[in-house]
Amino acid sequence: MPPAPPEEEMRTFWRLRSGCTIHHEEGGQDDGAARLTVRYADNAYPIGACAAASALALDRLREGCDEPRLAEAAAQEGADAIAIAHCLHLLVVLRRYGFVNEVIAGAAGEYAAREPMSSHLSFASSPLPQARQARLRLSRFALLSRHEGEAVLESPLSSWRIRIHDPAAAILICRLMGEGMTVAAIEEAGKRARTLAGWLLACNLAGEIDAEGHLPEDTDPDLRFWEFHDLLHARRSRSGGHDHPLGATFPGRGIVEPLPAVKPAMVSRAQDIVPLPRADLESACRDDPPFQAVVEARHSIRAHGRDPIRLEQVGAFLYRSARLIERVPPAPEHELFYEASRRPWPCGGAAYETEIYLTINNCEGLDRGIYHYDPEHHRLERLSRDEGMVDALIETAWHSAAQTVRPQLLLTLTARMRRLSWKYRGMAWAVALKHAGVLYHAFYLTATTMGLAPCGLGGGNTELVARAIGIAPAVEMPIGEFMLGSLPEQP
């Protein structure tokens, strides 16, 4: 680390970000030149050739160095004026591509650092408002969390990460919550606090509140309606604007075994297993209405008939929309490192992490209760006869359906998240939700074809579902509810 400045002083310097290294090899086009390569996150980025003295000076960035000290280091290594200028230009290149952090330091040590999570960002700072009574507040989208063993401040509205190295910096950030801080109070906190506040403004992590106590994001016609968790999930589950791991990186490989393609049986007693009738697919292919006619007729029906849905209809519905067609063994040569399967609806990576639970309220041929669908053997496993739990789940569905109908049958979808998180980083939950939507569509088309009343629901009670099936949400997270019943009588 660079020498500590006096207590009353503050300075900033540049340092290679964590996990980033500069490599130089002799053999450029000119005598004595070196080829520079930056290595970061298992990738190599050539950044050009320079004098060997400049390359050696750039090594100072591992511990931290500002421009004057970098130029001085290049001169000490024997660089001439042109090589020194080129060395400083290469620092600009490293900043442009997000390979260095800017660090605030004081006599007591490092205070904070700002780290770009994307390339082509400006390290400029915003000046504090001139009015000393102007008040700054932290954005409601700002997230204070632990990352790589450090406290960091991030936001889905920003491509910057603030690394907090000194408790005084954390105190400043906490004071910016709630009513915020006046410019006068920030200035009284010292140079480091003023510099950090300027970073927060420039990085869209904080802002000036108006006379009504609002930040610009509070009155923006688009931002004001975003919830924090929704915006964070939307930004982090896709690439761009952040540097968090994302995609099929197989983080679970070699650490834990992947979950099997089919969930093991949840019951063992024969009396709790209900074989389901199967659909006659040959007749269905011959007699079903045309596909486009089904698509055009599909709509939500929030009413059920006097006569309840029948067991054979439930069996045909699940057989046509959700059964397991075949298991697919692992094929490492094709980067399939886990057992997969084929089913009637599409699924990313053939993971089929979605489980289906049925809450039976009124079904001819099937007792009231809570069941799990076994797609491989096409049968139901009865988990509970608890009338109170059945009533609670049906009541929740009734409220979600705007109190229009208490469903004859409620299908609850959960995701065995380790099936996805074993393979995917950053996007497992987004993928699970997409799969739920695909299965909703399969349910709608199947129910419309069979003359049943389908209706997808927008919400449910996570804790209630966890108690009903006896599984913690972190293991199987509820992701959707779907009502099904007989068609209401025509007037």
Confidence of residue 9 (pLDDT cuts 50, 70, 90): confident
Confidence of residue 2 (pLDDT cuts 50, 70, 90): low
Q: Does residue 5 register a pLDDT over 50?
A: no
- How would you label 203-237 residue by residue, b for 16+ Cβ within 10 Å and e otherwise? bbbbbbbeeeeebebbeeeebeebeeeeebbebbb
As a whole number of angstroms, the distance between CA 123 and CA 195 comes to 12
As a whole number of angstroms, the distance between CA 195 and CA 248 comes to 39
Confidence of residue 32 (pLDDT cuts 50, 70, 90): low
Confidence of residue 33 (pLDDT cuts 50, 70, 90): confident
What is the biggest distance separating any 2 CA atoms in the chain, rounded to whole angstroms? 95
Output the pLDDT for position 29: 52
Among 25-29, 129-133, 205-209, 213-217, the least confident range: 25-29
Confidence of residue 42 (pLDDT cuts 50, 70, 90): confident
> What's the CATH architecture for 247-486?
3-Layer(aba) Sandwich (3.40)
CB 143 within 8 A of CB 87: no
Among 18-32, 143-157, 250-264, the least confident range: 18-32
436-462 pLDDT, tens per residue? 999 999 999 999 999 999 999 999 999
The sign of the dihedral angle between the CA atoms of 128, 134, 136, 140 is negative
- How would you label 322-342 residue by residue, b for 16+ Cβ within 10 Å and e otherwise? bbbeeeeeeeeeeeebbbbbe
Output the pLDDT for position 225: 95
Confidence of residue 26 (pLDDT cuts 50, 70, 90): confident
Q: Does residue 422 register a pLDDT over 90?
A: yes
Mean pLDDT of the residues in the chain: 94
Confidence of residue 27 (pLDDT cuts 50, 70, 90): low
CB count, 10 Å around CB of 92?
A: 11
> Amino acid identity, residue 94?
L
Provide CB contacts within 8 A for 380, sequence distance 6+. 273, 274, 276, 358, 366, 371, 372, 373, 374
pTM: predicted TM-score of the whole model, two decimal places: 0.88
Confidence of residue 6 (pLDDT cuts 50, 70, 90): very low
Q: Could you give the dihedral angle defined by the CA atoms of residues 207, 210, 216 and 219, in that order, rounded to the nearest 10 degrees?
A: 150
Output the pLDDT for position 49: 87
Output the pLDDT for position 107: 85
Output the pLDDT for position 361: 98
71-128 pLDDT, tens per residue? 999 999 999 999 999 999 999 999 999 999 999 999 889 999 999 999 999 999 999 9
Write the CA distances from 313 to 277, 286, 317, 482, integer angstroms.
8, 18, 6, 16
Query: How would you classify residue 399: left for phi > 0, otherwise alpha for psi between -120 and 50, otherwise beta?
Result: alpha
Q: Does residue 7 register a pLDDT over 50?
A: no
- CA–CA–CA angle 273, 274, 279 (5° rounding): 140
As a whole number of angstroms, the distance between CA 204 and CA 8 comes to 28
- CA–CA–CA angle 365, 315, 464 (5° rounding): 80
What is the rounded average pLDDT of the residues 476-483?
A: 97
Q: What is the CA radius of gyration of the chain?
A: 30
Domain positions in the chain are: 18-97, 106-236, 247-486
CB count, 10 Å around CB of 254?
A: 8
As a whole number of angstroms, the distance between CA 102 and CA 105 comes to 10
Which of 39-43, 50-54, 440-444 is the most confident on average? Answer: 440-444
> Amino acid identity, residue 64?
G
289-346 pLDDT, tens per residue? 999 999 999 999 999 999 999 999 999 999 999 999 999 999 999 999 999 999 999 9
